[in-house]
Structure 1
Amino acid sequence: MRSNNKKEQILEAALQVVEENGANHLTIDAVATYANFSKGGVLYHFPSKKALLSGMVDHLIQANEKRMQALDHNDHLLSAFLHKENQMSAAERRASLALLAAAAEAPELLTPAKDYIKRVVDEISQNSQKPMEALTLFLAGEGIRFLDILEINPMSTKQTQEVVDQLSQRAEEV
């Protein structure tokens, strides 16, 4: 198996650990067990928990970018982005929560995520006739996503989808 495939397998195992057991159970040992690797095998690819978390951030960003590329957004980037946010898997949501917790101790872990969001914001602003309104819609969508990640969204799944649909519809007009 190629090195990239092994890294991917380890990252998927890390997401599974977080999804099934919560962020506080993310350890090199747990990931090794889930990936069916030795601890040394995991440490070869990710020499520390911090390196593993950094890899998870990159993995989540790549997953977001793949979802964006797969969407047919007919030049409505913001609308596509809003819909994409609702397509995050449970594992990705839990991993996002784990990464937020880890970032409290090591804020530099979020640098790639900051760079990714900056690129998205710049692209939304540049492709909108009403950049401030577009950014307001984007931030509303991000707020919903964070409510979901933190598992404190008071709306039902149906209500959330209706709000996202309205945001997306409005996004196509700006």
Structure 2
Amino acid sequence: MPKPSARETVLDAYQDILIEHGPGSVTLDAVAAKANVSKGGLLYHFNSKEALLDGLLERLRRLSLADIEHAKTAPEGVVRYFLTSSVTDASMDKPAHRASMAALRQVGSDPRVTETIKECALFWREMVAEHIDDPLTAEIVGAIGDGLYLRATMGEETATLVDQLDEVLRRLGL
């Protein structure tokens, strides 16, 4: 695996600070230190905290779209992938999940954050709707997925529903 670019390393550091300590801990100095780059090196790629946010939101869109493309070819199928991908232990370290968690820490700080999160959620709902004939069932599956994701991000138990996913899908006629 190739070494990440300096720009990606800075974004990783920004994400880590947001996830671990929240937006109040983000300073350009803190991000540079976490990324192990000089402040000048950070400013070369991101000249402000707003530019860091722009980079994070672009990353979230890009990674979400890549994850959706993966879902379309997942061996377990689109719906099962959608419902399980955000709640398993393995997904907690997925780049798309980490970008999402960092963005979620900033909801309310800038309207672009909420817009981007809504846009990415819409990408998923549209993908699910492409694979489920009934629009209402597609909306229900989307709501279940959103609920599972919210529970997982708060550290709540999701195993009960995920362990019974076959029965959930059967009841939904899937």
Question: Which TM class, normalised by the smaller chain length?
Answer: 0.7 to 0.9
Q: Percent identity?
A: 28
Shift of 1:78: 2.1
TM-score (norm 1): 0.74
Paired position in structure 2 for 1:44: 44
Task: Kindly provide the amino acid, as one letter, of the partner of residue 32 in structure 1.
Answer: A
Question: Which sections of structure 2, spanning at least 5 residues, go unmatched?
Answer: none
- Find the residue that maps to 2:74 and give its secondary structure: coil
Query: In 2 relative to 1, CA 63–90 (structure 1 residues): closer, same or farther, beyond 3 Å?
Result: closer
Contact 1:67 1:84 in 2 (8 A): no
In structure 1, how many angstroms separate the alpha carbons of the residues matched to 2:96 and 2:127? Answer: 24
- Residue matched to 2:160: 162
Secondary structure of residue in 2 paired with 1:113? helix
Question: Residues 26, 99 of structure 1: CA spacing in aligned structure 2 closer, same or farther, 3 A cutoff?
Answer: same
**TM-score of the superposed pair, with normalisation by structure 2:** 0.74
- The 5 A counterparts of 1:20-169 are 20-70=20-70, 73-74=74-75, 76-86=77-87, 87-89=91-93, 96-151=100-155, 153=156, 155=157, 160-167=158-165
Higher relative contact order (CA 8 A, sep 6+): 1
**Distance 1:63-1:164 versus aligned 2 partners, 3 A rule:** farther
Q: 1:92 to 1:118 in 2, by over 3 A?
A: closer
CA distance in 2, matches of 1:147, 1:102: 18
State the Cα deviation string for residues 85-126 of structure 1 (Å, max 9, x = none): 121329876764553343312112333332222222122112
Q: Is there any run of 5+ residues in structure 1 with no aligned partner, and where?
A: none
The one-letter amino acid of 1:60's match is: L
AA in 2 matched with 1:81 = F
CA distance in structure 1 between the aligned counterparts of 2:40 and 2:56, rounded to whole angstroms: 18
